[in-house]
Structure 1
Amino acid sequence: MHTAKHLRPLAPRQAEALTHRARGLSNRETAQAMRCSVTNVTNLLAECFYKLHARNSTDAVAKAVKHGLIQLALIASIISGIGADAQEQLRTRIQRRPSVRTIRIRNNREGIA
């Protein structure tokens, strides 16, 4: 198990992407909100997973909130400020089974024996 001292801080854009994921946004929706490409969002989230030693988005959000890297109060205020229809959509999206993605990591030539 990794402790807080082993977690690397998130860059501002990484924290922003993870906050959007915590709100229930897809990569496409996050890309629109952040005005960048879906590939960029995917890479930002992959870096979050790596830095937080997380297996998936849920794990990454939980660890980021626990260690103060993103603010749960901000997420809660955003969700409470939206209408009932949007809240239902978020509940439905959160209940969906997450997709499995493979992240390719470049080999570190110095680390290869």
Structure 2
Amino acid sequence: MKFVSGIGLAGLLVALVGLVTPVVGLFIGWLALGISALGAFLGDRGFAIATVIISAFSFLFFTPSLWLEAAASAQVGTQGTNYGGGFPILRYFSLALLAFPIAAMFVGKKKQA
């Protein structure tokens, strides 16, 4: 296993830890996507894609903070009062970080055979 694959594998393992961590799983998932983006930039492809898939699954099904934010931002629009909490920053930041390793694959080095 090369160093680049090791970085990708570390990102994948951190994403799996974030999947089962109750309170800070979202932030651990963000860390995993950052590590995976570094690996993808250096030339890893497989682990980066797997990390994005696992993190998307984790964010969608196992992250109640994103659910609460969605419910809160939906309530702001229906009550007619905007107290500044209507912007879904966690969701937008999570979506941006999900795209980050994919973008790093296109910008980074090509894998040497």
Of structures 1 and 2, the one scoring higher in RCO (CA 8 A, sep 6+) is: 2
Which has the greater radius of gyration?
A: 2
- Normalized per residue, the structure richer in helix is 2
TM-score (norm 1): 0.32
